Chains A and B, each alone.
Chain A
Amino acid sequence: MADKMTMVVSEGTFDKAIMPLMLATTAASMGTEVNVYYTFFGTKLLKKGANPKMPGMMRLFTGMMVGRMKKMGIPDFDGMMKQAMELGVNFYACSTTMGLMGISESDLRPGVKVLGAAAFIKKAQESNVNLFIG
């Protein structure tokens, strides 16, 4: 049975944005089929030009975090999204949340697909790893 993994991302702050991408990229590098499902505030991360910030007052330190990460060889959010897509990670936006947040398909980053809950649950049931991030 091939490795399959799903992740659900429900928040849109910088820390919650980067973490699933680190895991998704690693899993994809190991030959896992990775499906990441974004819902509620996480859906904003799938918009073109999304630039998430650290939560609360720490938003002021986002630039510093990005700088530190770059020194460690870790790309910024946009770079990580591109890298993940290149490795075959599948990104899905929750269709209902899109309606709630006023996001249309044309707002989404190229390569992102729209998925409903039932289809996502089926993927989760077929996976051996299912993670919920934030």
Chain B
Amino acid sequence: MDKNATLDAKGLMCPMPIVGLAKKVKEMKSGQVLELLCDDIGGKEDVPAWCSRTGHTLLSMEEDGKILKFYIKIK
């Protein structure tokens, strides 16, 4: 998946990945894609919830062992 930036939130527990995500997205431009890496189990539900409330698009989610990879398109 093509991406413009990666945010490594591995090792951070809920809600820190979401806080980091919100901060990072502010720095990015509309249409760009952010790859978010997270190994917190809460992330599976947190990231889609965040996207649905903020209007950014969750393109896909992959599971690589314990690591969750989210691809988010900035609105």
Contacts and interface: CB of A to CB of B under 8 A. Distances in A.
A31 interface: yes
Nearest to B10: A73
Interface residues of B, number: 14
A3 B53 CA distance: 9
Interface in A17-44: 22, 25-26, 28-32
B70 to A, nearest CB: 15
Size class of A's contact patch? 10 to 19
Nearest to B50: A30
Given A83-B19, A87-B19, A87-B22, A29 B13 contact: no
Given A72-B12, A72-B13, A31 B18 contact: no
A22 B15 contact: yes
B18 A30 contact: yes
9 contacts: A3-B53, A28-B22, A29-B21, A30-B22, A31-B53, A32-B53, A73-B12, A74-B13, A87-B19
Interface of B: 11-13, 15-16, 18-19, 21-23, 49-50, 53-54
Interface of A: 3, 22, 25-26, 28-32, 72-74, 83, 87
